[in-house]
Structure 1
Amino acid sequence: MGAPRQMWASAPWAEDEPLECTMIIPETADCATIAFRAPSGAWFDYQPGQFLTLELPLPGGPVHRTYTISSSPSRPLSISITVKAGPDSLGTRWMLDHLRPGMRLRAKGPAGAFSFLRHPARKYLFVSAGSGITPMMSMTTWAWDSGEMPDIVFVHAARRPADIIFRRRLEGFAARVPGLQLRFTVEDVDPLEVWPGYRGRLNQIMLGLMAPDYQEREVFCCGPEPFMRGVREMLAALGHDMTRYHEESFAAPAPEGVTVDIPAPAPVSELAFAASGARIASDGSETVLSAARRAGIVIPSGCNFGLCGTCKVQKLSGEVAMVHNGGITEDEIARGLILACCARPQGTVVLDL
């Protein structure tokens, strides 16, 4: 048997290095955890709860999909995502059917502000449904590995007990520390299995029973948008301080009557691409991403509403109007970076493309 290969590098992983798939671990039906490592042995530096954007080589051309990281940075030699294919899945379906150990993918990130490290508290309430459990698993693993498990009530909703992702692992944690309290609820039970947990859709009464001291807890929620909307409404009705509520979603946020001042489009706008020499006229109402596509310039994109940061590009000169959802930092904006999916040129804009 040969000597084990070097698995540790002196620097953290950077986006210019692809990720190599090392393991695919089945979780539930049409759901698996996919582990990656850096071929160089670089280690992974991120906050528990953040996400990655992967470039997937589909037959019709590469597509970009954003996935929350389910592993913890306390275990930095690898990084994992846990994916579940839905009826209309394209990228996730491709990964489950075709991705194999040894294959390499381009990735961007980690990114995102959804992490309990940004909101220190003595008590937390994690509420999730379906694959929304992944950032909660990352944060819970971090808490476990830290050796100082805080008081966490972990609420998760699933269709059936067999659909609860990470159930055994979470039960293993909870059986060994008093700080983690698991509260599962399912819509249907599995045949011939005793189910001691809650049954039915999560509701206000159930949530109050699961976490009677909810007023004292910092709340983190992730799941389908209708589920998160329901949780928001429940907590508001229960009188929770909603400044202590945080959620993660990869769907475009629903408008809630908030007015945003966006400059009127410039009468004449033009996008110039320094590297390719291409130029294209724009009336200032379309996004940089849309105009670039008309010019035949490919800018990778994921969410298309300013969250994932995949379409970040360098602006060399000019002004844009940009309203985003957290996919770019103020420091990056100060350095001239923009999100192509939500930036609109105001006059002549030159990009480093």
Structure 2
Amino acid sequence: MMDLIDLVQTLTSPHPLDRYLELVRPTLTVRDMRAEITNVHRSTPGSVTLTLRPTRQWKGHVAGQFVQIGVVIDGVRHTRCYSPVNPSGRDRRIQLTVKAHPDGLVSQYLYHHAAPGMVVDLTPADGVFRLPEPRPERVLLISGGSGITPVLSMLRTLAAEDHAGEVVFLHYAKSPAVLPHRAELDAIAQRHPNFRIELRYPHRAPDTARVDPDAPWVDLNQPKSNGYFDYDELERVAPWFADAQTYVCGPQSLMDAVRTIYQAEQLEDRLHTEEFTLSLAPVDAADAQGTVNFSASGVSAQNNGASLLEQAESAGLSPEYGCRMGICFSCTAVRRSGCTRNLRTGETDSDPDQPIQLCISAPVGDVAVDI
């Protein structure tokens, strides 16, 4: 069968077969995976929850993993990473909650324009931030802001499995109004007495914190809590944290606070993190010199110290990219010569003819890239 498909692909060159099939129906594909949006729910300000029906290639996901969603905006295909919020499994539906970040091109587009019937590109689930098998007896889930999505999938998976161990879910949000899936959290807390759900709103005054004293969770800032994460907060919500597996996703400040405590307690092997923000290593001003040669395009530009993706765009080029944070590998290109610095780790590399990720690589002096 695959030989026949390969033959047809050859006959339809220069375009793959799926480019012709999508003219008949966007979800009719041979190799490419896509998904149709079947439901759009804007329950909280600034975010939208999408239910997608993927094509037959979908193999399911494990709680905590992410997928890449591709949309065409003004004729250009853009890709971003989002974590499903529904439980693990091979369900024929995927649920994504997308926060519309102020400068987020794709998230803003989906928030304002997503509608039932829209078809998006989809990749298989990926990522090592995931619940293990067998399940840990004690699980601590910590999230902040839009980092709730992979952690909520873990919580919902444990609830669906009637996990008998202790589970604490600690989430930080700006206000109750922007907290998505609150009804779901309420239902989980009602059904599972061994699950504790702790919600914190650091930006709210303590005397206005508790909005529902009858809620089945511990809501907002407690009398001995300042609403921010610290060691005392950790001991309050999960005094057994040293015996648990901890999963955290959220803003860099929250990630750093959790990581600092676990490093001090020598518990790094029990801490699992997912980062959807790019933490950059400082750029040495001495590196911002020389010329960047985009060899495939015949374009050159003075090195300004920014990432190669940003410098290529400033030079008028349009290289393919996705997440812009080193996750999806959509912007990989070959460095023909010169030295580049990894903006996440600070490490440099100068081996010729090596593939690099443009979004997290900055030139050090003269560099030639095959773009």
* TM-score, length basis structure 2: 0.68
Of residues 60, 63, 82, the one that matches 1:67 is 82
| 1:47 positional shift | 2.7
Comparing 164-173 with 193-202, which one deviates more in the overlay? 193-202
1:83 lines up with 2:114 in the alignment: no
- 1: CA distance between counterparts of 2:359 and 2:172? 33
Structure-2 residue corresponding to 1:250: 276
1:131 lines up with 2:146 in the alignment: yes
- 2: CA distance between counterparts of 1:233 and 1:184? 21
Of residues 218, 223, 231, the one that matches 1:197 is 218
- State the aligned residue count: 322
Structure-1 residue corresponding to 2:358: 340
- 1: CA distance between counterparts of 2:266 and 2:180? 28
Structure-1 residue corresponding to 2:33: 17
Map Cα deviations across residues 306-340 of structure 1 (whole Å, 9 max, x no partner): 22323245x699898674869xxxxxxxxx86533
| 1:132 positional shift | 1.4
Comparing 196-205 with 75-84, which one deviates more in the overlay? 196-205
Structure-1 residue corresponding to 2:62: 47
Q: Which amino acid aligns with 1:46?
A: H
Secondary structure of the corresponding residue to residue 28 of structure 1: coil
Q: 1:163 to 1:133 in 2, by over 3 A?
A: same
Q: Which amino acid aligns with 1:226?
A: S
Q: 1:145 to 1:279 in 2, by over 3 A?
A: farther
Structure-2 residue corresponding to 1:298: 318
- 2: CA distance between counterparts of 1:293 and 1:192? 50
Q: Which amino acid aligns with 1:37?
A: R
Contact 1:37–1:78 (CA under 8 A) maintained in structure 2: yes
- 2: CA distance between counterparts of 1:14 and 1:233? 47
Q: 1:182 to 1:244 in 2, by over 3 A?
A: same
* Percent of aligned positions that are identical: 24
Of residues 249, 256, 268, the one that matches 1:222 is 249
- 1: CA distance between counterparts of 2:211 and 2:163? 38
Map Cα deviations across residues 94-149 of structure 1 (whole Å, 9 max, x no partner): 21211101011224453332222389633221011222111011122333344545
Map Cα deviations across residues 31-59 of structure 1 (whole Å, 9 max, x no partner): 22111122x44433333212233333334
Comparing 25-34 with 340-349, which one deviates more in the overlay? 340-349
- 2: CA distance between counterparts of 1:14 and 1:140? 34
Of residues 308, 325, 331, the one that matches 2:328 is 308
Contact 1:155–1:182 (CA under 8 A) maintained in structure 2: yes
Q: 1:310 to 1:117 in 2, by over 3 A?
A: farther
**Which 5+ residue runs of structure 1 have no aligned equivalent?**
1-12, 327-335
**Which 5+ residue runs of structure 2 have no aligned equivalent?**
1-28, 222-226, 346-353
Greater relative contact order structure (CA < 8 Å, 6+ sep): 1
Q: Which amino acid aligns with 2:40?
A: I
| 1:350 positional shift | 8.8
Contact 2:44–2:179 (CA under 8 A) maintained in structure 1: yes
